[in-house]
Every structure is written in C-alpha cells, then in structure tokens.
Amino acid sequence: MGLVGLVLGFWCLASGDATNAVPVDALLRFTYILLIAAVVILLGLAVAKSAANDPKGLVKGLIFLAIAAVLVVVVYSVSAGTPALNVKSQPSAQWLKLTDTVMLLTAILGIGAVCAIIFGVIRNAINSK
C-alpha cells in the first residue's frame, strides 16, 4: 500500500498545472484508487485465509461480500452528488456522487462499529454473571 500511495501521490502532484498546483479531481482520483486498492487487498487476503483454514468459512465470507456489495449499490443509488462548496473548478458529477457514497458508507460503518461495541459490552456483562 505504501508503494501504491507513493506512485499515485507523484502522479497526482505531476498532474497539476501552473495555475492550480493540485487539482481537486486528481486528489479525488488518488483517494479513491487508494481506497479501492486497500479494500481489494483486504478482501483478497480475508478470502484466501478463510479458504485455507475452513471451506465453510469461505461460504460465510462470500455471503458477507455479497451483503457488502448490495449495501454499496444501495448507498450509491441514494447518494445525491451535491456540488462541493467553495471550490472554483467542480469535480465531475461522477466523482461528487462517489464522494457522497464514501461519506455515507463511512457514517453507516461508524455507527455500526459503535453499536457493535455497545452490544459487545452488554453481552459480556450478561455472560460474566
């Protein structure tokens, strides 16, 4: 991931011109490529590990991937893609919609993580009695 980040960072900085050092579109592309690379590497390693350890775990992992893909599609379809504030050159509509999708997914996953922590603490408190 570090090597991918360095290569994409140099590409992003090299794509600027004299009037605009680093365009917003290039920064968004850089961020999304790194995000996609991280997710693909993480999912690939998880699937390979579950296939090596337990074939039944592989089926559960594939079901989880299908649910995650459906969540991403649903969130993408409801994303508004509103223009960025205080930016002279707006990114394309596709990048704006993708930005809204990532922000909504981050909020959903953050709320899910907080709920998992709370329910885990409650479950451990009940089981320890």
pLDDT in single tens digits along all 129 residues of the chain: 677 777 767 776 676 655 555 566 667 777 778 888 888 888 888 778 877 888 777 787 788 888 888 999 999 999 988 887 777 777 778 888 888 898 899 999 999 999 999 999 999 999 987
Q: Please give the tally of structural domains in the chain.
A: 1
Residue positions counted in the chain: 129
Nearest in space to 98 (alpha carbons), one of 71, 77, 70, 67 = 77
Containing domain of residue 13, as a range? 2-127
- List the structure tokens of 30: 């850089």
In order of 1, 53, 125, the CA distances from 128 in angstroms are: 41, 30, 5
Q: Tell me, what's the pLDDT at 102?
A: 86
Whole-number Å distance between alpha carbons of 88 and 50: 47
Neighbour tally for 100: CB within 10 Å: 17
Measured between alpha carbons, how far is 78 from 83 in angstroms, rounded to an integer? 15
Query: How much is the pLDDT for 81?
Result: 83
User: What pLDDT is recorded for position 35?
Assistant: 82
* C-alpha distances in Å from residue 71, one per residue of 13, 80, 123: 33, 16, 26
Residue 85 CA to residue 126 CA, distance in Å, equals: 48
- Residue 76 has a pLDDT of 92
Nearest to 65 by CA among 36, 32, 99, 40: 40
Predicted model pTM: 0.63
Contact call for residues 12 and 33 (beta carbons, < 8 A): no
